[in-house]
Amino acid sequence: MFTSILKTATGEAIPTAGALTCIGLSIILGLLISLIYIFSDKKKKYSSHFAFSLAILPVVVCIVIMIVGSDIARAISLGGVFALVRFRSVPGDSKDITNVFFAMAVGLSCGMGYATLAVIVTVVVGILYFVLNYLQFGERRCETKQLRVTVPENLNFNGAFDDLFGEYATNVELDQIKTTNLGTLYELTYSIDMKKGVDEKAFIDSLRCRNGNLNIILCKMPEKLEKL
């Protein structure tokens, strides 16, 4: 079993040496968690502000827990304050929430004096984080893109592009139909999984032959914001 280096008799003050040890450890582990977040992002699209927050969060939680101590009333009040905080990903990456709880768990362990547990949690979760990212666990094997095709009002778009979709894509879903240009044109929005190694220019050229050379946009699927 793990033992706390801050364990004292009821009413006694927290030893200064133990408190400084826990705070120093939370700083080191917070920096390590931040580095795990940075170096595990293969696309290098991490947020510098979020990396900064992950480095600071464990030491803040550690200090708060040491201040609260064993006072149940203050602990309940603190829980109410945390309940008002809404963590959200930017722009909607749910892994950010995991990192927040990871940092909070380490900060809680340090604040309660369980230094060994905090180190073990950081190492184990950090290794698991890297392994799952390396194996691309849960990631789709093909990237979903958004295709917007403008067609004239006299074109029956139902099934008009099915043979092209079968040749260049593995899965296609029609998400939206919108009229434009005072109702003289339709804009069709698709979610499309492109086959690997396909010639996107040839795909677009084939679509242009069907839609009368009107606007065609093939782009990355917009991120969906997640409210948590």
The bridge status of strand 144-152 relative to strand 185-194 is antiparallel
User: Where residue 5 falls among pLDDT bands split at 50, 70, 90?
Assistant: confident
**pTM beyond 0.75, yes or no:** no
Q: Which helix (H) or strand (E) holds 172?
A: strand 169-180
- C-beta neighbour count of 103 within 10 angstroms: 26
User: How many domains in the chain?
Assistant: 2
149 pLDDT more than 90? yes
| Residues 114 and 216 placed together within one structural domain of the fold | no
| Residues 125 and 158 placed together within one structural domain of the fold | no
60-100: per-residue pLDDT in tens?
888 888 887 655 555 555 555 555 454 544 445 677 888 88
Percent of the chain predicted with pLDDT > 90: 37
Q: Which domain holds residue 178?
A: 144-220
Which of the pair, 78 or 103, is modelled with greater confidence? 103
102 pLDDT more than 80? yes
Average pLDDT of 54-60? 90
| Residues 130 and 194 placed together within one structural domain of the fold | no
Q: Which of 81, 108, 134 is the C-terminal boundary of a domain?
A: 134
191-216: per-residue pLDDT in tens?
999 888 889 999 999 999 999 999 99
Q: Which residues of 187-215 are buried (b: 16+ CB within 10 A; e: fewer)?
A: bbebebbbeeeeeeeebeeebeebbeebe
162-171: per-residue pLDDT in tens?
999 999 999 9
